[in-house]
């Protein structure tokens, strides 16, 4: 890899710290420290008051009736599927575009994932294409708010109701975004029969690990709590194994961080919006630049990562070279995802490249840049300048959103 065609280095542009410009960093403060210390003094690190407090607060913030805190978004999705009675012989429709951990939960139940292509602009599951994948074996639709952009929930809800399917909302990449549903503006997480959130990096609400499942159905909430963990009282039970629970709870210190982050959520999201605005201003230096797409039914998007959608003239290998160029300047970046139907596990089931051209078209060229509140304006200027220089270096010209 040749050097970037510029005399500027990181030291020339700004006084960078010794460590890298990371893809994500948690925004932690005194509130988090105080709540964790208070929890440690309680003498109970699991199944205590802090988990219950966070569950209630998060559900109330979303306007949902019940929240069940879990160990991760993957586990939360697995529990949601189990609570719905989905297992071997059943099918679940999902998008191949996004983080693979969520769709893996379908495999863990023994059910079969049926992929369906996306809406090219939003990156979310296309309801029309999903409808064509419904069979007598289909039991649920698992649709995600991809990178924070809400899916087409009105159409997905209509499809699920018409075909008698459960609708699971994957919000593991989204928190705080607002969709204009049938009842007016509503935060993501309010549209599925169940919705799943994940709080590992790079989530805006970050507590290291952990997640939550929310629902308005008391029966589903009760089943989720049963499946989540075995209590001490169950140690001598002879019936508890009838529906084997997992050890999938969120611990008290983790819940303390999550509760503190939730108390600061407006502040956290506002700080990320400032970084987004800074990126947009710097990106104007690219010829033909377009702002990130926001669908007409979407009131507000809070991105999980800052994605640059490179033009078709960028080959996958050129994109990989750009990642290497950025790394040379201590800027962490990644290609957003490897589509699931191109991953070994699903290729073993017969899925192949070429089946979902819209997903492949954007996945090949979706580049994630550092996105967190610790980024200063000079950081953003340096990142975008390095990206622009690299796009010239690989021979593809200017980047296009």
pLDDT tens-digit profile, the chain (401 residues): 333 334 444 444 444 456 899 999 999 999 999 999 999 998 889 888 999 999 999 999 999 999 999 999 999 999 999 999 999 999 999 999 987 678 889 999 999 999 999 999 999 999 999 999 999 999 999 999 999 999 999 999 999 999 999 999 999 999 999 999 778 899 999 999 999 999 999 999 999 999 999 999 999 999 999 999 866 666 666 655 557 778 899 999 999 999 999 999 999 999 999 999 999 999 887 764 567 899 999 999 999 999 998 888 888 888 999 999 999 999 999 999 899 999 998 999 999 999 999 999 999 989 999 999 999 999 999 999 999 889 888 865 554 44
Instruction: Let me know: does 75 contact 122? Beta carbons within 8 Å.
Output: no
Please report the pLDDT score of residue 143 as a whole number. Answer: 97
Instruction: Let me know: does 145 contact 198? Beta carbons within 8 Å.
Output: no
Alpha helices in 164-302, H assignment, sequence order: 218-228, 252-263, 265-283
DSSP 8-43: --HHHH----SS-B-S------HHHHHHHHHHHTTT
Q: What are phi and psi of 10, to 5 degrees?
A: -60, -40
Nearest to 190 by CA among 215, 210, 167: 215
Please state the domain extents for the chain: 10-25+265-393, 30-263
Q: Output b/e per residue, 362-375; b: 16+ Cβ within 10 A.
A: bbbbbbbbbbbbeb
Instruction: Let me know: does 202 contact 372? Beta carbons within 8 Å.
Output: yes
Q: Among positive and negative, which fits the CA dihedral 308, 295, 354, 196? A: positive
Instruction: Let me know: does 279 contact 376? Beta carbons within 8 Å.
Output: no
Instruction: Let me know: does 163 contact 157? Beta carbons within 8 Å.
Output: no
- DSSP assignment letter at 125: B
Nearest to 271 by CA among 21, 28, 5: 28
Please report the pLDDT score of residue 6 as a whole number. Answer: 40
Please report the pLDDT score of residue 231 as a whole number. Answer: 64
Please report the pLDDT score of residue 16 as a whole number. Answer: 45
Please report the pLDDT score of residue 181 as a whole number. Answer: 78
Angle at 374 between CA 75 and CA 265, to 5 degrees: 50
Nearest to 199 by CA among 331, 51, 323: 51
Q: Output b/e per residue, 210-243; b: 16+ Cβ within 10 A.
A: bbbbbbebeebbebbbbbbbbeeeeeeeeeeeee
3-state secondary structure 307-358: EEECCCCCCHHHHHHHHHHHHHCCECCEECCCCHHHCHHHHCCCCCCCCCHH
Please report the pLDDT score of residue 99 as a whole number. Answer: 75
Note every long-range contact of 344-353, with CB atoms under 8 Å and residues 24 or more positions apart, other chains counting.
Answer: 345/104, 345/107, 346/96, 346/113, 346/115, 349/112, 351/96, 351/115
Cα separation values, 162 from 81, 124, 153, 194, 243, Å: 20, 20, 14, 18, 30
> Which tokens belong to 394?
């690989």
Q: Which residue has the tokens 């990181």?
A: 10
Alpha helices in 19-152, H assignment, sequence order: 30-40, 49-62, 73-83, 100-109, 127-131
Q: 10-25+265-393, which class in CATH?
A: alpha beta
Nearest to 204 by CA among 168, 179, 177, 169: 177
Instruction: Let me know: does 355 contact 115? Beta carbons within 8 Å.
Output: yes
DSSP 267-281: HHHHHHHHHHHHHHH
Coil, helix or strand at residue 238 = coil
Q: At what angle do helices 218-228 and 73-83 cross, to 10 degrees?
A: 120
What kind of fold does domain 30-263 have according to CATH? Answer: 3.40.640
């Amino acid at each position: 890899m040749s050097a970037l065609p510029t005399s500027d280095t990181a030291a020339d542009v700004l006084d960078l710290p010794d460590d890298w410009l990371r893809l994500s960093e948690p925004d932690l403060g005194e509130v988090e420290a105080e709540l964790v210390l208070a929890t440690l003094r309680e003498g109970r690190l699991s199944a205590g008051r802090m988990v219950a407090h966070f569950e209630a607060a998060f559900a109330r913030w979303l306007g949902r009736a019940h929240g069940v805190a879990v160990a991760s978004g993957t586990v939360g999705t697995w529990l949601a599927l189990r609570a719905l009675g989905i297992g071997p012989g059943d099918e679940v429709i999902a998008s191949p575009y996004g983080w693979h951990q969520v769709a893996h939960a379908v495999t863990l139940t023994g059910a079969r994932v049926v992929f369906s292509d996306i809406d090219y602009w939003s990156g979310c599951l296309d309801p029309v294409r999903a409808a064509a994948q419904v069979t007598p074996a289909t039991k649920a639709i698992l649709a995600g708010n991809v990178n924070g952009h809400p899916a087409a929930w009105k159409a997905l809800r209509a499809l699920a109701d018409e075909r008698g399917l459960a609708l699971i909302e994957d919000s593991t990449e989204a928190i705080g975004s607002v969709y204009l549903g049938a009842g007016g503006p509503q935060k993501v997480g309010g549209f599925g029969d169940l919705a799943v959130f994940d709080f590992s990096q790079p989530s805006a609400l970050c507590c290291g690990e952990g997640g939550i499942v929310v629902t308005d159905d008391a029966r589903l909430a009760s089943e989720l709590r049963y499946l989540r963990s075995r209590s001490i009282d169950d140690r001598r039970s002879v019936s508890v194994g009838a529906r084997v629970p997992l050890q999938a709870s969120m611990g008290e210190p983790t819940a303390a961080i999550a509760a503190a982050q939730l108390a600061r959520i407006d502040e956290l999201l506002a700080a990320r919006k400032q970084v987004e605005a800074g990126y947009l201003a710097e990106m104007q230096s690219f010829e033909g630049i377009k702002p990130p797409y926001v669908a007409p039914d979407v009131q507000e998007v809070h991105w999980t990562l800052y994605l640059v959608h490179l033009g078709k003239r960028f080959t996958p290998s050129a994109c990989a070279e750009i990642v290497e160029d950025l790394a040379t300047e201590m800027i962490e970046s990644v290609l957003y995802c490897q589509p699931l139907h191109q991953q070994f596990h699903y290729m073993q089931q017969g899925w192949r490249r070429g089946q979902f051209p819209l997903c492949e078209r954007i996945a090949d060229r979706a580049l994630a840049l550092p996105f967190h509140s610790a980024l200063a304006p000079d950081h953003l200027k340096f990142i975008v300048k390095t990206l622009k220089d690299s796009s010239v270096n690989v021979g593809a010209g200017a980047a296009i959103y």
